[in-house]
Structures are given as C-alpha cells and as structure tokens.
Amino acid sequence: MTRNSRHWAIAAAAFLAAAPVLAGCGAGFDAITNKPYSATEAATTRLKGIEVSQAFFLGPDSGAVLAQGGATPLYLSLVNTNASADTLVGVGIDPSLGTAKVTAPIPLPVQQRVSVGKPTPTVLVEGLKKPLSGGESVKVQLQFANAGIVPMDIPVITRSREFSQLPQAPGATPAPTPTPTPSATTEHAEGDH
C-alpha cells in the first residue's frame, strides 16, 4: 500500500466513523447514535469462490483473558459462490496456539449464507497454549473440500457490545470487578455530620 493510498484509507475510515454521529444530530435523546457503538472488527475475505464475512474468535469479557488450557469458538459467515456445493472440512492453526477442531463437516450449498458458530459453536480452538485477550489476531487456514485452503487473519474480539449475548468462551477468567472508591462529594458529606 502506498503512502498516499494509506492516507486516503485513514481519511475514509475517519469519515465513516464520524458518519453515525453526524447522522443523529437532529434525532433527539433517544437516537440509536446516542448509544456506544463501533463497527465490528471481524474479518472478511473472498477467495476461491468462497466469501467469508464476520469472522472472529470470541475472546473473554473486556478486561479478562482466556486462560491457558481454555478454548475459543470461531464465528463466521460463509457463502459459496462456486458452481457446485462445497464443505468446510477443517481449520488449521499454528500448533503453538492450540488445536482447532471442527465438530462436523459444514455443508455449503451454492449461493446460500451459512452461519458457523450460531446457535452452537462448531469450530473451537481447544487447549490454548497461551492466554488470549481481545485485540489479538490468529492466523488460520480454512480447509474446504473443493475450494482448498483459504488463509485468513481472524481477530479475537472481546465479549462486549454486540457480542455480549454470545455464550462465554470455555475457560474464560472473569473480568476484574472494579472496587468503588469514595468520591470527594461523599467524603465531604460524611464529614459534615
């Protein structure tokens, strides 16, 4: 990527990030833009007639970690745009991270969206050999019966915002509980009695 195109990409991203705020200016206090939101960080690719979107590993709650020995489910959406049906038969990852398991081959009919991971995770990285937290990325090789291997870098996304309703990753440690500290107003009010 050239320096000039990088600047354009940054400018476009800044504009897109500001667009929801600008769109809600006249919508009042109940506008959906008044609620915290950021575009999903999930990965997308199109290769060998396979469209992969919304690909992410579910990480821990914000501020927590997936402990060594734990597991993380893979969520993604697949569309097979080839002329014949295909099947996701496996997922390869670096063995120094853990072992990826596909509980059963996932059929991909032609031109139909298939959601992997919902309602039940069917692809897991088990036996994590190092702790994982949100913001990291995992290199994977999606293995299809006909299309072959589709490589991707898939992010580990914390279980927050739109991901907070997903079941917690197995072996996740709880997020630290904030300890309340007395405020200056509380201390002053108690001293007046």
CB 147 within 8 A of CB 103: no
Residues 51-71: tens digit of each pLDDT: 999 999 998 888 888 889 989
Same domain, 51 and 67: yes
In a domain, 2, yes or no: yes
Instruction: Give 169: exposed, middle or buried? Use CB within 10 Å, 0-12, 13-18, 19+.
Output: buried
| Percent of the chain residues topping a pLDDT of 70 | 64
Q: Where are the beta strands (DSSP E) in the chain?
A: 43-47, 50-58, 72-80, 86-93, 99-102, 106-108, 113-116, 123-126, 137-144, 148-157
In a domain, 60, yes or no: yes
How many distinct structural domains can be found in the chain?
A: 2
Same domain, 106 and 154: yes
Residues 72-85: tens digit of each pLDDT: 999 999 999 999 99
Which CATH number goes with the domain that contains 100?
2.60.40.1890
Task: Assign residue 103 a region (left: φ > 0; alpha: ψ between -120 and 50; beta: otherwise).
Answer: alpha
Higher pLDDT, 17 or 51: 51
In a domain, 184, yes or no: no
Residues 158, 160, 161, 167, Cα dihedral to 10°: 100
In a domain, 4, yes or no: yes
In a domain, 188, yes or no: no
Res. 29 pLDDT band, cuts 50 70 90:
very low
Domain that holds residue 26: 1-39
Give strand pairing partners of 108.
86
Same domain, 98 and 119: yes
